[in-house]
Structure 1
Amino acid sequence: MLIGVIADDFTGASDIAVTLSQGLPGEGGLRTTQYLGVPQQPAHAEVEAGVIALKSRSLPASEAVAQSLAACEWLLAQGCSQIVFKYCSTFDSTDEGNIGPVLDALTARLQAKRVIVCPAFPAMGRTLYQGNLFVHDRPLNESGMEHHPLTPMKDADIRRLLARQSHTPVSHIRWQQVVEGSEGLRERLETQDNDSAQLVVVDALSDHDLTIIGIAAAGLKLISGGSGIARALPHNFIKAGQALGHRSNNPAVSGATAILVGSCSGATRGQIEEHQKHHAVLALDITDVMNERVSADDVVKFILAHQQECPLVYSSGDPDSVQQAQQQFGQHNISRQLDKLFGDAARKLVYEAGIKRLVVGGGETSGAVVSALNLGSLQVGEEIDPGVPALFAQPEAPLALALKSGNFGRRDFFAHALKVLAG
């Protein structure tokens, strides 16, 4: 294994897995496997990039650090020479963590001196300029992310955010310096102010910028960012003769379908609205969920009764209704109950009802679902939409999945994803 990735949620892991699998246009990528948690056995010999999906984004910082270090140790044992810490392109974390504390721990473990910090994902409108993160034309703290139920983002300046979270000094490389090219950027990374470890926030406005950054990162022990930071990393290993360039493909999986959605993002709400114009949709009332008036069996019954209509079950809402529910029941209580409901429903759907194609919306919900299914690892296929690959598992029978981050995907994503999974 050449590259090891530690991802702080399941949809983010899928996102960077497909980036590594694709590589740069015309070159191909690396043979990539996504692992659901830290594996208990060695990787297969043909795996060139291993992506460990954790559900650590909203854990207490100490737990996130412990899980990330355990993942790092396993990846190093597989022979990885480069570790990537993958977090969301909207830098989802509070002033207490978890991004800064995990970076501190990984920096110390790997004895890294310069650690790139670049959450930019231009294909999804996330750009980093003068150290500030934008979502399309809005600063992060005015993009809607300030209302996130678990990690409300109140500051767009990544340098300030990191300084509040991390004990490692933070520096910055401006976009005007990035566009000078990879060689110049590599020199700047090597000649930062002093010899102590630094977290280096690096601006990026385009995929071309990310390519420059990725090529400049050749040989660095630790890199961090959104999935875009991995865009050119396979190139470095292909150029060095350590990989040949792999092109992934999707096996066609037919059979019964289900869509489970737990994201409250504006993009997901729009996708649900579009889906229900032509397909069967069931909304779960959070009061009913919290008072246990709705169960996993109710979800399964609806899914099976509407198999010809691409059935979707969701728990979502606008910021005001989400805030009202949190005030009534408590944020973490709601998350725990929804995770259990969707996890139990997914297990029944796959292992009892024979669902073959499963689409999940929302990072937390995706984590709950794949944890409940206990799949172990997933093979990475082609991209369905930017940042969302087709994933394939073989528990007792073939299973195709799509795990979608809340803000990702075209407006008709859910029906489109089912078609792609079917070939």
Structure 2
Amino acid sequence: MAPILGCIADDFTGATDLANMLVRGGMRTVQLIGVPDENAPVPDADAIVVALKSRTNPVAEAVTQSRAALQWLRDAGCRQFFFKYCSTFDSTDEGNIGPVTDALMADLGTDFTVACPAFPETGRTIFKGHLFVGDQLLSDSPMRNHPLTPMTDSNLVSVLQRQTKKPVKLIQFATIEDGPEAISAEIQALKASGGGIAVIDAVLNKHLFSIDYALSDLTLITGGSGIAIGLAENYRRQGLLGEMGGADAIPAISGHAAVLAGSCSVATLGQIERFKAEHPSIGIDPLRLADGEDVVGEVLDWARSRIAAGPILVYASQPADTVREIQDRLGRAEAGALIEEALAAIAKGLVAAGTRRLVIAGGETSGAVVSALGVSGLRIGAQIDPGVPATVTIGNEPIALALKSGNFGGLDFFAKALAAMP
């Protein structure tokens, strides 16, 4: 049977975040890394998530990759499509959310879609078109200092309108509160008035279920993973999906364990401090990397003498002020690339030394590590924390991975993830 839902995610942790939500709904889900070869076999799954590393790529590159992923998913027989981006709408005025959405709509021949990054479980809510992170407007949250995509405007209608030539409208909270029929009626009215993209308010999970019910006939949905919360029930009502049970089954993996952190989010910085108090840890200095010093070799020598005794932590994360100083000296893109390459090389060295359980913090870092390890796909297991499942790589020598978006997880996430890995 062909997969029901085909998804395109703009980074690796975002992909596992979405896959986690689908598995929770009872959909057997496989995450593929990068655009599959045109002759690649279609996995036996209800949903397929193609994980790209396109969030901060040049617009043309992000659009090309996303269109190629869409074509593969269409050829695989998917019925509905989902473009997944971060629940904090990480982007710049140039994109990439708007341009990719425009391209996918054109290829699918649809003139209307929705944009809803709300994820109440992780504190991301939308009211009057404004995105909140916990009790703060997005523009007042730590995301305003993001090194690659600083978010200084919380009005998603304004943010998205700067990225697309399509009209961007808002389906407001009052309509959402009135339920699925009211939402469906508003969608039909927007379609009749010329289509475009509708940002949708959502504050509670019940709002997401109501929204999803009204989206059953849309060809393309865009948003964060939260908006996928009710899709499985849509497919059950349509007779496309069986009852829940066993969707999160993955094999157990044994071997050494390590945590690699590249995210500079406030959440990850707190998780590092908590884990450092009880486990061996070592930091990476990007300035030494820039000077050509063998930091990777030093870290691997340090790790090999300790990892058999228990999990270790390797981190490049720094507070926002320090990150800005480093970027001023090295350049934003150059600093990020140095850190990603170093952590990816360290991951390869750790796996070669027998490490089989890895926790990776940060979307860009996760993408670099997974690419360096040559991972082609992941089987998605049970949730560790909201937005983060346990996963196992597909292949002859499987590795257990937890790929965490920088902002996700509680202070004890690293220890919790290692304990939850099969």
Question: TM-score with structure 2 length normalisation?
Answer: 0.96
Identity %: 44
Query: Aligned-pair distance for 1:309?
Result: 3.6
Conservation of the 8 A alpha-carbon contact between 2:213 and 2:230: yes
Match of 2:265 in 1: 265
Query: Aligned-pair distance for 1:43?
Result: 4.1
Match of 1:50 in 2: 48
1:9 equivalent to 2:7? Answer no
Give distance in 2, aligned partners of 1:346 and 1:175. Answer: 45
The equivalent position to 2:158 in structure 1, one of 157, 160, 165, is 160
Conservation of the 8 A alpha-carbon contact between 1:274 and 1:411: yes
Q: Which amino acid aligns with 1:376?
A: S
Q: Secondary structure at the match of 1:192?
A: helix
Q: Secondary structure at the match of 1:66?
A: helix
Give distance in 2, aligned partners of 1:237 and 1:204. Answer: 22
Computed over aligned residues only, the root mean square deviation of the Cα atoms, in angstroms, reads 1.3
Query: Aligned-pair distance for 1:193?
Result: 6.3
The equivalent position to 1:170 in structure 2, one of 161, 168, 173, is 168
Give distance in 1, aligned partners of 2:324 and 2:194. Answer: 43
Bigger Cα displacement from structure 2, 287-296 vs 398-407? 287-296
Give distance in 2, aligned partners of 1:43 and 1:81. Answer: 18
Can you list the C-alpha shifts for 1:79-100, whole angstroms capped at 9, x where unaligned? 1111110000000000011001
Q: Secondary structure at the match of 2:300?
A: helix
Give distance in 2, aligned partners of 1:17 and 1:289. Answer: 35
Give distance in 2, aligned partners of 1:383 and 1:158. Answer: 29
Give distance in 1, aligned partners of 2:277 and 2:371. Answer: 31
Conservation of the 8 A alpha-carbon contact between 1:214 and 1:229: yes
Bigger Cα displacement from structure 2, 145-154 vs 338-347? 338-347
1:16-415 mapped onto 2 (5 Å cutoff): 16-23=18-25, 29-40=26-37, 41-44=39-42, 46-192=44-190, 194-246=192-244, 247-307=247-307, 308-350=309-351, 352-415=352-415
Q: Which amino acid aligns with 1:133?
A: L
How many equivalent residue pairs? 416
Question: TM-score with structure 1 length normalisation?
Answer: 0.96
Q: Secondary structure at the match of 1:235?
A: helix
Give distance in 2, aligned partners of 1:313 and 1:255. Answer: 17
Q: Secondary structure at the match of 2:190?
A: coil
Q: Secondary structure at the match of 2:162?
A: helix
Q: Secondary structure at the match of 2:31?
A: strand
Conservation of the 8 A alpha-carbon contact between 1:300 and 1:349: yes
Give distance in 2, aligned partners of 1:416 and 1:249. Answer: 19
Q: Secondary structure at the match of 1:191?
A: helix
Give distance in 2, aligned partners of 1:274 and 1:119. Answer: 29
Query: Aligned-pair distance for 1:5?
Result: 0.7
Give distance in 1, aligned partners of 2:394 and 2:72. Answer: 23
Q: Which amino acid aligns with 2:36?
A: P
Q: Which amino acid aligns with 2:199?
A: V
Conservation of the 8 A alpha-carbon contact between 2:179 and 2:210: yes
Query: Aligned-pair distance for 1:50?
Result: 0.4
Conservation of the 8 A alpha-carbon contact between 1:258 and 1:303: no
Q: Which amino acid aligns with 2:376?
A: G
Give distance in 2, aligned partners of 1:419 and 1:170. Answer: 44
Query: Aligned-pair distance for 1:398?
Result: 2.4
Conservation of the 8 A alpha-carbon contact between 1:114 and 1:190: no
Q: Secondary structure at the match of 2:379?
A: strand
Go from structure 1 to structure 2 and tell me whether the alpha carbon gap of 1:339 and 1:185 turns closer, same or farther (over 3 Å shift).
Answer: same
Give distance in 2, aligned partners of 1:189 and 1:294. Answer: 57
Return structure 1 stretches of 4+ with deviation > 4 angstroms.
none
Give distance in 2, aligned partners of 1:294 and 1:129. Answer: 49
Give distance in 2, aligned partners of 1:296 and 1:184. Answer: 57
Query: Aligned-pair distance for 1:135?
Result: 0.4
Q: Which amino acid aligns with 1:347?
A: K
Q: Which amino acid aligns with 2:94?
A: E
Match of 1:26 in 2: none
Give distance in 1, aligned partners of 2:275 and 2:83. Answer: 34
Can you list the C-alpha shifts for 1:186-217, whole angstroms capped at 9, x where unaligned? 12111116453310000000111111111111
Conservation of the 8 A alpha-carbon contact between 2:33 and 2:375: yes
Query: Aligned-pair distance for 1:56?
Result: 0.2
Can you list the C-alpha shifts for 1:246-290, whole angstroms capped at 9, x where unaligned? 431343222111111100000000000000111111011121122
Go from structure 1 to structure 2 and tell me whether the alpha carbon gap of 1:394 and 1:33 turns closer, same or farther (over 3 Å shift).
Answer: closer
Give distance in 1, aligned partners of 2:404 and 2:201. Answer: 26
Q: Which amino acid aligns with 1:6?
A: I
Query: Aligned-pair distance for 1:362?
Result: 0.4
